[in-house]
Structure 1
């Protein structure tokens, strides 16, 4: 992937070397957030909470803080991918008569405090609609390669673009509708539930970005697309549940199966049309 062709974003906040807040206690809201994020990532919340014992909350820098250390290629890569998502979504929103509002992406190490609560790196990358920020511990990319056998820079770009897809959903009101259903007491988990549809739509939107990025930059090299598809396949609910539980429980799905994640990313990539990503109206996921 010839990612150095992309414009660098100014919206990356490097909090990896930030100070820590000593003696902080984890609120009930923070615990709830960890449980939810853990379930969404197919991980054991109790294990995550156990890992947090003795850890201190990490303090984020103020808005406008630097976007990575000079010569830090990992943060440069993140800035390049985020910058291109900004270019893509600005153009697509403008074509639809809307204005795109750029999210910030926070690089952290170990743990971080967001508007959605306190989170450990164990939950993986996530988007918080409360502060409209993407949170990423770069160690996740190593886990993606070692645990999920999903190596490659375009696989990493897919992960970032998926979280930006959640930001697009927030701007379009999709996230608010899903949250409203949850607050009404509706069950949102399950193989055809709202959470799965929301996640598959974010996969499709990541594919839409990849389509337009390739047309604009011609930056994909042989094998790059397969890297993204392999990453989508590696983190399906069915595969993760089989690895962690030894069995597949469709009623507990929150992200969709491996095949579904690949299918919806491919729909977005092949068409480049956000309108084709309406998973909520699709009879077939």
Structure 2
């Protein structure tokens, strides 16, 4: 993937190496925050609690001043992909008569504090609607390749674009609608539920981004698309459940099956049309 041709975003905050990543020591309140993160991210609270580690340094949220990004290849890649999401979504929003407000992206190592609470690297990349920021520990990409069967630069770009897709959903009000269903006590999980539709839309948005980025830069190389599709397959609910518990339970799906994730990414990638990503209007997923 010839990612160096993209504009580098200035909306990257590098917290790698900062003690606790601006985090806090977890007590009962911290555990409650983890449960909230799980609900916001569409993950099982028990899964989130199982991933939690003690954060090393007490610090109020937002008390750490942003540090200048380390100018290494990893941060350059992240800034380039984020910059391209800004340019693509800026054009998409402008075409509909609105304005795109970019998300910030925080690089961290080990653990981090967000407006959604404290989180560890084991949670994986996530988007917090409370501060409209994407959080990534780059070690996730190593684990993605070693343990999940996905990986490669375009696969990593897909993951970033998926999280930015959740930011788009925040800006368009989709996330608020799903949260309102949850607030009213509605069931949001399940193979045909609102959480799966939200996640599949973010996959479609990632594909849409890739479509327009490819038109702008012709940066995909042989095997790049296959990397992204392999990663989408590896992080499907059915794939992860089969690996983790030996059986598939569709009623507990939160992100969609491998087949669904691949199909909706392709819908965005092949069309480049935001209207093709309306998973909430789709009868069958």
Cα distance change, pair 22–53 in 1 and its aligned pair in 2 (3 A): closer
Equivalent residue runs for 1:1-285 within 5 Å: 1-20=1-20, 24-26=25-27, 27=29, 28-36=31-39, 40=43, 44-49=47-52, 52-53=53-54, 55-56=56-57, 61-62=64-65, 65-66=67-68, 68-70=69-71, 72-285=72-285
Q: What is the TM-score with the length of structure 1 in the denominator?
A: 0.92
C-alpha distance after superposition, 1:14-50 (max 9, x if no partner): 001224468734425313135447872898334213x
CA distance in 2, matches of 1:188, 1:22: 29
Shift of 1:57: 5.9
Work out whether residues 125 and 135 of structure 2, in 8 Å CA contact, stay in contact via their aligned partners in 1.
yes
Residue pair 2:9, 2:79 contacting (<8 A) in 1 also: yes
What CA distance in whole angstroms lies between the structure 1 residues aligned with 2:56 and 2:187?
33
**How many residues matched?**
280
CA contact (8 A) 2:106 2:133 kept: yes
> Deviation digits for residues 136-184 of structure 1, max 9, x if unmatched?
0000000110011112100000000000000000000000000011001
Structure 2 portions without partners, runs of 5+: none
Uncovered stretches (5+) of structure 1, i.e. residues with no partner: none
Contact 1:57 1:111 in 2 (8 A): no
8 Å Cα contact 1:191/1:256 also seen in 2: yes
Indicate conservation of the 8 Å contact 1:42/1:237, yes or no. Answer: no
> What do the CA deviations read for 1:35-93 (whole angstroms, capped 9, x no partner)?
447872898334213xx146446776435x42x212x1011100000000000000010
State the alpha-carbon separation in 2 of the partners of residues 22 and 162 from structure 1: 25
